[in-house]
Amino acid sequence: MSSLHPVTAGSPVAACAQVAAGRVIGDSSTTVHGVTLDSRAVRAGDLYAALPGANTHGGSFAASAAAAGAAAVLTDERGQQLVEQAGVDVPLIVVDDPRAVLGAVSALVYDTTDLSLELLGITGTNGKTTTAYLLTSALEALGRTTGLIGTVETRIGTERVKSERTTPESCDLHRLLAVMRERAVDDCVMEVSSHALALHRVDGVVYDLALFTNLSQDHLDFHSDMEDYFRAKSSLFTPQRAKRGLVCVDDEWGARLAEAATIDCVTIGSTQKAGVRPDYEVECEGDDGFVLRGPGDVRLSLRSALPGDFNIMNTAMAAAALLMLGHAPEQVRAAVLTDPHVPGRMERVGVGKDGAPLAVVDYAHTPDAVAAALTALKRPGGGPLVAVLGAGGGRDVGKRAAMGRAAAIADVVIVTDDNPRGEDPAQIRAAIVTGAREVADGGHVEEVGDRRAAIERAVEIACAAGESATIALVGKGHETGQEIEGVLHPFDDRVELALALRRRLGVSA
């Protein structure tokens, strides 16, 4: 991307300290023109946020930040000590919890408190990325200039860059929003993770519309339990973070959120919950078609471009969001029917060979998502569905057996490595295998540790059955690396699956 920094930004240290309710040490008239919490990313004139970390305090890097041109430092008392010990002579803003004020300070510096663009935030366990892409493609079909911030990438108009995390740190987020404003972006669609809500990454941002897709077990390595996870998600639906909400009530968490939200919320659902009819009702008509009925006698016949009932709801939410933003029903109908490309979400991998099995890569990495993806891909009366999956190391241990049980929907389950990170991959696989074998014939569950070999094995089984078979690689989706013992090795499921199919079918690249 040509530049991720706005042309105009700036605020005096005194004003930053006032917003942060902090005290200033040094020249309070110094002006800062940007904000970063990464000392390696400091540009001349930046405010460097020296935050306490799990292992090292950011104050330890204040000297290198100052050498790179940092004009001031935002930190706590421990950071102040480290800065002074290092002999760094720049103004300091000292607060008790610098992370908690970083969003407000960044909004001031980048002047993003009152944006001229529509801002949409999507949260939920599953469906955030797909719904974000559906909304973005539909808005573009409506002639809007869009921005996208999410798991896969960040886009500003036609420019894009790979994302490091689902939701950026608050200083990076406000900088991106300032750039979008300068480039006359009409609408920005964002994925909002529970980590971002809990760790102040979206502080200082108020969404014009917040969307909730669903909630199921995930991230319990970070959240203490499902209630804590729900509280983080539901905090998006408060006046401090959003003006209006659109909540899917197809699970109990959505129904609870619709009741608990402290902003005006519109509900959407495919079934009635607790005897209450949702504002937008989705009626499936088969073959991924559905009818969306809503306020004002809205009745739209639509179709999901992606397979699976869950993608019907993702598409319906995108359509309802557009209607809530004031777009005309017939324009919404045409825009939503635009076929989006959602990287690593039910993404087909073809090699241009007749008779090849259907091959799909999907990011499903929770029990509910695995079950939904495999249910969508299982063809009644068709050939075998061969699923390949693993689970990430250093993450929610409790979901692994449940993922195995969900994977047993497939006719053949091949358990392999995902991103083992620092864990013993054999132990991760064992938990998944145990779950799968609880509900499946043991002969239908195989363990192949090497992911490339597991893909080869899946292709071997599916190709033997012919074009009626289906291969589903779930878990990594759009990812282009595999993390093992702290090293990120190049690995793309889509590339590896295509190569394995070509080798097996004798197709040249």
Convert 177-200 to b/e letters by CB count within 10 Å (16 or more is b).
bbbbbeeebbbbbbbbbbebbbbb
What is the four-CA torsion angle of 304, 308, 314, 315, rounded to 10 degrees? Answer: 10
The C-alpha angle 129, 180, 139, rounded to 5 degrees, equals: 50
325 belongs to a structural domain = yes
Number of domains in the chain: 3
CATH number of the domain encompassing residue 96: 3.40.1390.10
Residues 179 and 302 in one domain: yes
Question: CB atoms < 10 A from the CB of 116, how many?
Answer: 9
Residue 112 contacts residue 143 (beta carbons within 8 Å): no
Whether the Cβ atoms of residue 245 and residue 261 lie closer than 8 Å to each other = yes
Q: What distance in Å separates the CA atoms of residue 453 and residue 236, rounded to the nearest whole number? A: 42
Q: Residue 218's domain spans which residues?
A: 118-336
Regarding whether 173 and 61 lie in a shared domain, the answer is no
Residues 318 and 358 in one domain: no
Q: Whole-prediction pTM value?
A: 0.86
In a domain, 141, yes or no: yes
Do 133 and 85 belong together in one domain?
no
Residues 162 and 272 in one domain: yes
Let me know whether 83 and 168 are in one domain. Answer: no
Are residues 105 and 73 part of one domain?
A: yes
Is 2 inside a domain boundary? no
Residue 379 lies in a domain: yes
Residues 299 and 432 in one domain: no
Residue 3 lies in a domain: no
Instruction: Name the β-bridge partners of 48.
Output: 36, 73
Residue 385 lies in a domain: yes
Distance from C-alpha of 141 to C-alpha of 340, rounded to nearest angstrom: 10
Give yes or no for a contact between 254 and 211, defined as CB atoms under 8 angstroms apart.
no
Q: Are residues 42 and 103 in the same domain?
A: yes
Which of these three, 40, 75, 110, is where a domain ends?
Answer: 110
For residue 248, the surrounding DSSP H or E stretch is: strand 244-248
Is residue 227 domain-shared with residue 358, that is, in the same domain?
A: no
Residues 182, 129 share a domain: yes
Shared domain check, 122 and 101? no
Helix (H, G, I), strand (E, B) or coil at 62: helix
pLDDT in tens, the chain (509 residues): 446 788 767 899 999 999 999 999 999 999 999 999 999 999 999 999 999 998 899 999 999 999 999 999 999 999 999 999 999 999 999 999 999 999 999 999 999 988 889 999 999 988 899 999 999 999 999 999 999 999 899 999 989 888 888 889 999 999 999 999 999 999 999 999 999 999 999 999 999 999 999 998 776 677 778 899 999 999 999 999 999 999 999 999 999 999 999 999 999 999 665 557 899 999 988 778 999 999 999 999 999 988 888 899 999 999 999 999 999 999 999 999 888 888 999 999 998 888 899 999 999 999 988 999 999 899 888 899 999 999 999 888 889 999 999 999 999 999 999 999 999 999 999 999 999 999 866 569 999 999 999 999 999 999 999 999 999 999 999 999 999 998 999 999 999 999 999 999 988 86
User: 341 lies in a domain?
Assistant: no
Is 147 within a domain?
A: yes
Q: How far apart are CA 58 and CA 37, in angstroms?
A: 8
- Cβ-based burial of 419 (10 A; exposed 0-12, middle 13-18, buried ≥19): buried
Last residue of one domain, picked from the residues 309, 336, 363: 336
Cβ-count burial 49-87 (b if 16+ within 10 Å, e if not): bbbeeeeebbbbbbbebbebebbbbbbbeebbebbeeee
Place of tokens 């809007």: 144
Point out the domain boundary residue: 336, 355, 382. 336
Q: For residue 371, what is the domain's CATH number?
A: 3.90.190.20
Residue 437 phi/psi, 5-degree rounding, is -75, -10
CATH of the domain at 178: 3.40.1190.10
- Concatenated DSSP letters for 379-392? -TTSS-EEEEE---
Q: Would strands 72-75 and 92-94 be described as parallel, antiparallel, or unpaired?
A: parallel
The candidate with the shortest Cα–Cα distance to 149, out of 111, 175, 184, is: 175
Residue bearing tokens 């000292």: 94
